[in-house]
Amino acid sequence: MTVLALSVGGVIGLTLGALGGGGSVLAVPALIYLLGFTPVAATTASLVIVTITSATGLAAHAREGNVRWRTGSLFALAGIVPAMLTAILAADVPETVLTGAFGAVAALAALRMLRMPRQPTLSDSDSPVRPGRAAVAGAGLGAVTGLLGVGGGFLAVPVLVGVLGLRMRVAVGTSLLVITVNSLAALAARSGTAHGLDWAVVAPFAGAAVLGAWDGKRLSARVSGGLLQRIFAVVLLAVAVFMLIDMAV
């Protein structure tokens, strides 16, 4: 079980470091289907893992200048309260509903990414954004984070690229700021569900994910933004289809 946790954690970290999201999308089904966690325990454990991993990835991207602090802060601050509220409500949601919602949200995000232009045209500078638009998007991302136990990066990246016009690599770095803040808020609200976690599995999973995130960061510097975007979308869609089929069966 420890070896499996290390292996899966490394893949999750690589994904999160390279793509700025998708780590938690992969973590939740991996914890459920490979490591035997219940959906509620998996979403809580995912928040622990993704918080640690995204904070590590954020530090690496910040050193490279790939974080737009103003834009990311608007998103993150707007999502704190919704993340905490939906995290509290998540304990009462039936497991099948959580699984179905998770798969549906992941599929929608993947399809949006596949339809977006591969080369966004706006600048990488920390240019002004519409506060209202950023606040609404950030609140929605926070709500998803709290309910489904995901960092929200798989939604933040499409919004930062398609709605606010950041280039892919900058959107990746900025999304990690959003993920870190939202995950911390949701985890604080879910603190009562953390005592029953199997830390012998969660700890090596998180450690391997951190190491993988550093490799993912280096990978993102060598691969074009368009290719990262396509990989991101395909991974999301595959996970979504698997979970929806499993729920239906």
Q: What is the mean pLDDT of each run of 10 residues along the chain (249 residues)?
A: 84 72 72 84 85 82 87 88 87 80 81 64 52 81 81 73 77 86 84 76 89 76 72 81 81
Measured distance CA(95)–CA(101) in Å, rounded: 10
What is the model's pLDDT at position 128? 58
- What's the pTM? 0.75
The domain spans of the chain are: 2-248
What Å distances lie between residue 89 and 43, 72, 109, CA to CA?
13, 26, 23
Say which amino acid occupies 227: L
**DSSP designation for 192:** G
Copy the structure tokens of residue 31: 């914890």
pLDDT of 120: 44
Kindly state the tokens that stand for 236: 């999301």
Both tokens assigned to 189: 């609200």
What φ, ψ does residue 161 adopt, rounded to 5°? Answer: -85, -55
What distances in angstroms separate CA 232 from CA 15, 117, 172, one per listed residue? 8, 14, 11
What does the CA dihedral 131, 136, 137, 142 come to, rounded to 10 degrees? 120
- Among 233, 195, 205, 218, smallest CA distance to 53 is for 205
Eight-state DSSP code of residue 182: H
**Residue 81: how many CB atoms within 10 A of its CB?**
14
Determine the Cα–Cα distance for residues 33 and 59; give it in Å rounded to an integer: 31
What pLDDT, on a 0 to 100 scale, did the predictor assign at position 20? 59
> Would you say 113 and 229 are in contact if contact means Cβ atoms under 8 Å apart?
yes
Q: Give, for 167, the enclosing helix (H) or strand (E).
A: none
User: What's the pLDDT score for residue 81?
Assistant: 92
- Residue 82 contacts residue 185 (beta carbons within 8 Å): no
d(CA 168, CA 225) in angstroms, rounded, equals 5
Nearest to 84 by CA among 136, 41, 146: 146
> By the 8 A CB rule, do 236 and 29 touch?
no
Query: Which one, of 230, 181, 194, 153, lies nearest residue 48 by Cα?
Result: 194
Q: Write out the two tokens for 124.
A: 């990488």
